[in-house]
Chains A and B, each alone.
Chain A
Amino acid sequence: MALAKRIIPCLDVTAGRVVKGINFLELRDAGDPVEIARRYDEQGADELTFLDITASSDNRGLILNIIEQVASQVFIPLTVGGGVREVEDVRRLLNAGADKVSINTSAVLNPQLVADASGHFGSQCIVVAIDAKQVGDHWEVFTHGGRNATGIDAIEWAKKMVALGAGELLVTSMDRDGTKVGFNLALNRAISDAVDVPIIASGGAGNLVHLVEGVQEGGADAVLAASIFHYGEYTVRQAKEYMRECGIEVRL
């Protein structure tokens, strides 16, 4: 028996509410973050990820407050991302109760932030989120919630981030996000094979088969999903039972 593959429900938070969009747009309300976090914890979620998707300065106080509330009631790892610009942001989130902090746009603007943050707090709490989109015959890194192209090759970027100290990579296929047609398995597999740190597959999970594919074909160590859990289509427990039936090691 061995290490379990993880299921990570993702809560996109804006203005104190959980929302979910399609291809990073068209947001709809999915509920109160603390309530939703408790529900997923009860269902056996292995971790929770909170993405502060507007990350304006107004929102910053709100997300810290939400994390504090969740962390005093839910005793599984919590990752928080969105608008992390400096080492001090990482410290504030960790002090609020986050166990890991996810860095995305700022890693592109200032790669040294990844080195500084992991040097200070340890690689175990630094996740680099890579939003990738297919451009021609390769995958390119995008920033600012998918709005800006960077010209950076996603595979090379993944290797560089790990070299700078990222302890885990959250790989989101922007072509798939919110579409429910399944993860981009080729993208996940390519990054998983290129680095030694764990990979979280994200973007596109629409049913339980997709979660299984993410692990078995995409080589993901964890799968992240939002819509399939938020609207009650499946519970985390159902997802894990199905994964186990398919021969994947899970925590039940």
Chain B
Amino acid sequence: MIDIAVVDYGMGNLRSVSKALEHVATDKKVVVTSNPQDIAEAERVVFPGQGAMPDCVRELDSRGLREAVIAAAASKPFLGICIGLQLLFDHSEEGNADGLGIFAGQVKRFSAVDMHDVQGHKLKVPHMGWNEVYQSQSHPLWAGIENGERFYYVHSYYVAPQETALVAGYSEYPKRFTSVVAKDNIFAVQFHPEKSQHAGLKLLSNFVQWNGHS
């Protein structure tokens, strides 16, 4: 029996994600897998991802994982991370790629032109580093995490959900952008909990204990 399946579609460093999950769930079996059967059987699923969205979609399909991911997202505790959040949406500006369409909305790029902080300094893209995450709804995965806690980000694109009810957290760069969405058994984050020290491990620990109901 697999407790936690980390979906491997060849994009990015999944070792960090699995190490962090093993660290918070020493008694659970964590498997990094590209086998749809493992994903179907797992009690809970983590959907990470790095790199360019069109490549991610292509790799996901070439491994025959699309249906398994959609089925998991419909039925069991499901944590999307970074591109794993963006892929849940209809469409991305990055390479004009279609996502899985689980949520309605677009994935948009930070415009490096004309982005300045309050002191007038140029803001860089990618948005890289530790930023404050504000919780816009209460959720079991926020348990023990302070509102405004910093998490580690590295991304150039962000999600713009059509339904504001999906938004569970946001950050500012310099404008507010959605960085966490939640609905039923799905919780998905733009930042990297596996690289966000104590706060990140706390969120992962909450996830491995979550029953999938908000």
- Residue B197 is within 8 A (CB to CB) of chain A in the complex: yes
Interface contact B128-A94, CB-CB below 8 Å? no
- Taking the complex as formed, is B12 at the interface, i.e. its CB lies under 8 A from any CB of chain A? yes
Best-surrounded residue of A4, A6, A168, A251 (most CB of chain B within 10 A): A251
- Judge if B150 is at the interface, Cβ distance under 8 Å: yes
Structural contact, A221 and B15, CB atoms closer than 8 A:
no
Interface residues of B (CB under 8 A from A): 11-13, 15-16, 19-20, 23, 50-52, 112, 117-118, 121-132, 148, 150, 152-156, 172-174, 192, 194-197, 200-201
- Residues of A contacting B152 in the complex (Cβ-Cβ under 8 angstroms): 46, 76-77
User: Closest 7 interchain pairs by CB?
Assistant: A122-B51, A196-B112, A251-B130, A124-B154, A94-B13, A198-B124, A4-B130
5 more contacts with CB within 8 A, not counting A4-B150, A121-B50, A124-B126, are A46-B152, A75-B194, A97-B15, A99-B195, A193-B122
Known: A76-B152, A76-B197, A122-B52. A71 touches B126 (CB 8 A): no
**Partner among A75, A124, A199 whose Cβ is within 8 Å of the Cβ of B201:** A75
Q: Is the CB of A6 within 8 A of B200?
A: no
- A192 contacts which chain B residues (CB < 8 A)? 122
Q: CA of A197 to CA of B125 in the docked complex: distance in angstroms?
A: 5
Q: Are B128 and A72 in contact (CB under 8 A)?
A: no
Residues of B within 8 A of A75 (CB): 16, 19-20, 23, 194-197, 200-201
Q: Which of A3, A123, A125, A199 has the most CB of B within 10 A?
A: A3
Smallest Cβ-Cβ distance to B151: which chain A residue: A251
Smallest Cβ distance from A46 to chain B, in angstroms?
Answer: 6
Cα separation A125 to B51 with both chains bound (whole Å): 9
Q: Is the CB of A197 within 8 A of B16?
A: no
**Which A residues are CB-close (under 8 A) to B11?**
122
Question: In the complex, A198→B129 CA distance in Å?
Answer: 10
17 contacting pairs across A/B (C-beta < 8 A)? A3-B127, A3-B153, A4-B150, A6-B130, A75-B19, A75-B201, A77-B192, A94-B15, A99-B195, A122-B12, A122-B51, A123-B156, A124-B154, A167-B128, A167-B154, A197-B126, A198-B128
Q: Is the CB of A1 within 8 A of B126?
A: no
CB under 8 Å from chain B, chain A span 59-117? 71-72, 75-77, 94-99
